[in-house]
Structure 1
Amino acid sequence: MSTQPETMIGVIGGSGVYQIDGLQDAEWVGIDTPWGAPSDKILTGTLDGVAMAFLPRHGRGHVHSPSTVPYRANIDALKRLGVTDLFSVSACGSFREDKAPGDFVIVDQFIDRTFARDKSFFGTGCVAHVSVAHPTCARLGDLAFEAAQAQGVTVHKGGTYLAMEGPQFSSVAESKMYRAWGCDVIGMTNMPEAKLAREAEICYASIAMITDFDSWHPDHGAVEITDIIATLGANSANAKGTVARLPQALGRTRAPCPCGCDRALEFALMTAPDTRDPELVAKLDAVAGRVLKA
């Protein structure tokens, strides 16, 4: 009789979120990957009896810029640890009056405007195409929304995240253009992270924490850095409270994802087995081992 796999919750923390409070048996562990070193060691432990893994996206002390975050190594390392359900927590700007600083948005769509990052584990010698029509897991998004509500956060279910390269912020013209496109928030780190999580067959949800209105807003220039830092601090506390509610919501075991995130590679591999590059295939052992060994 088959048994359901155990849940392991992964959290990638962005600006202001550098740990998970209350972890039992907490330990920072180093993980080697074929894609290089991840942003930092990964904090592992359990919370409410559920395995957890936390990775500070920029590294402790905020050493990586959005462009230099080792996205492939991060996702590979979490996959190797056994992460099944991944929550991204990140700071962002808002394009909407009704989505104010201090609010959270459970992102469900992206427009990717990044250009200086490796966006796939696959390539010459082992080609694969996954669907990112729905780039986040609706199941995890619902749970994140409910957890944020329970934390007392003003949270918006659904929204489009414009991923920009950075590290500079938008010009006013760019900000107005993205707003006209129908985007809700803007950030620098959820892409290619979400795409890579899909390739690694990890369910992924994005919790975007609004710190400010982007440069389109007429009062943007009057915002003091101290105000942004204060909002960032409040967001961080609410993010930790939200994350602390997730283990109970997900439970210790998990059924197959109803959205199919954990089977994204089922029909994605295009390269015939006898023409695959052995070196690349070896690097894909964690990310795509399920289908490569089939």
Structure 2
Amino acid sequence: MGVKIKVGIIGGSGFEDPSIFKDQVEKEVTTPFGKPSDVLIEGVTNGVPFVFLSRHGRKHQFQPSDVNYRANIWALKKAGCTHILATTATGSLVEDYKPGDLVILDDFIDRTWGRPCTFYDNTRGGPFGVCHLPMKPAFCERARQAMITAAKARDYPFHETGTAVVIQGPRFSTRAESLMHRQWGGHLVNMTTAPEVVLAKEVGLSYAAVALVTDYDCWRQDEKSVSVGEVMATFAKNMDKARTLILDTIQLLKADKDDSYLEEHVLTQAGSVMYKE
């Protein structure tokens, strides 16, 4: 295909400041679904154009259930992005996934409610029809493998797979909920992967996410309750790993000569839409 890639970067909690990128240009945009969480910050990193967007806003002004996920994804798509690489702070539901570890997500369980999770709802200026989107695989496998390769090359402590249980927030889980999520087979718990990954797939984008483990939630016996301070302190200590992983992954995606998977994402999306008579 010879597609020139452009990478959208969604910075999660602790990654609101895109100061690692040089020669930035801010663009304020709007979409049929409203305004995204913040301005789009465009630039180039080692020859690859990127668009950075802070998921919660650069002042972290939007709680998880108030993030306009549809506007965020639509804005990145309209900006010409072919990929989205996202970061997310997560609690661990299993002993082996330790605070400070990176996890390349490969699946999720959606426990959120009330969040618009499709573009196909007759919004004026949006797409027409009904989209029955398959979510296996949930994430782009090619982008996931690039993240895995990048993590191995840096010798970071990481896990190649992980299922995130996405809770509504903004509160953390009760201990009973945390134990239930473990029984369901979850490895991690966070508040933002859904509907973000769904919406990215619904517009045919390659989407992958790296989770940074910040705490053990509250399932362990005698474990202290998770706190904002603990989460942010752990993320700040390990933020450079997540940033470096994103930058390395971009270069691996650029070097990948077989970009047919991008067309496959587009075809999957197009084949999932049923149009009304």
State TM-score, norm by structure 2.
0.92
> Aligned partners of 1:137 and 1:224: how far apart in 2?
32
Q: Tell whether 2:110 aligns with 1:112.
A: yes
Alignment check: 8 A CA contact 1:88 1:190 kept: no
Matched length: 271
Structure 1 residues 226 and 187 mapped into 2: Cα distance closer, same or farther (>3 Å)? closer
Alignment check: 8 A CA contact 2:37 2:62 kept: yes
Look up the equivalent residue of 1:45 and give its one-letter code: G
Alignment of 1:11-50 (within 5 A): 11-50=9-48
How much has 1:32 moved relative to structure 2? 1.5
Match of 1:208 in 2: 211
How much has 1:220 moved relative to structure 2? 2.5
> Aligned partners of 1:32 and 1:223: how far apart in 2?
36
Alignment of 1:72-221 (within 5 A): 72-123=70-121, 126-221=129-224
Structure 1 residues 205 and 21 mapped into 2: Cα distance closer, same or farther (>3 Å)? same
Alignment check: 8 A CA contact 2:172 2:226 kept: no
Alignment check: 8 A CA contact 1:256 1:262 kept: no
RMSD (CA atoms): 1.9
Summarize deviations over 1:265-289 as a string: whole Å, max 9, x none: 23122114xx4xxxxxxxxxxxxxx
Q: Which segments of 5 or more consecutive residues in structure 2 lack a partner in the other structure?
A: 123-127
Structure 1 residues 30 and 147 mapped into 2: Cα distance closer, same or farther (>3 Å)? same
Summarize deviations over 1:160-182 as a string: whole Å, max 9, x none: 11000011111111100000111
Identity %: 36
How much has 1:98 moved relative to structure 2? 0.4
Match of 1:256 in 2: 260
Which deviates further from its counterpart, 226-235 or 4-13? Answer: 226-235
Look up the equivalent residue of 1:240 and give its one-letter code: R
Structure 1 residues 202 and 223 mapped into 2: Cα distance closer, same or farther (>3 Å)? closer
> Aligned partners of 1:28 and 1:85: how far apart in 2?
19
How much has 1:225 moved relative to structure 2? 5.8
> Aligned partners of 1:170 and 1:52: how far apart in 2?
35
Alignment check: 8 A CA contact 1:137 1:259 kept: no
Look up the equivalent residue of 1:102 and give its one-letter code: G
> Aligned partners of 2:155 and 2:19: how far apart in 1?
18
Alignment check: 8 A CA contact 2:205 2:262 kept: no
> Aligned partners of 2:65 and 2:225: how far apart in 1?
28
| Structure 1 residue matching 2:207: 3-state secondary structure | strand
Q: Tell whether 2:207 aligns with 1:232.
A: no
| Structure 2 residue matching 1:260: 3-state secondary structure | helix
Summarize deviations over 1:148-206 as a string: whole Å, max 9, x none: 23334211001111000011111111100000111000000010001100101001111
Structure 1 residues 111 and 225 mapped into 2: Cα distance closer, same or farther (>3 Å)? closer
Look up the equivalent residue of 1:256 and give its one-letter code: S
How much has 1:25 moved relative to structure 2? 2.6
State TM-score, norm by structure 1.
0.87
Alignment partner for residue 269 of structure 1, among 241, 261, 273?
A: 273
Look up the equivalent residue of 2:254 and give its one-letter code: G
Alignment check: 8 A CA contact 2:218 2:225 kept: no
Structure 1 residues 187 and 100 mapped into 2: Cα distance closer, same or farther (>3 Å)? same
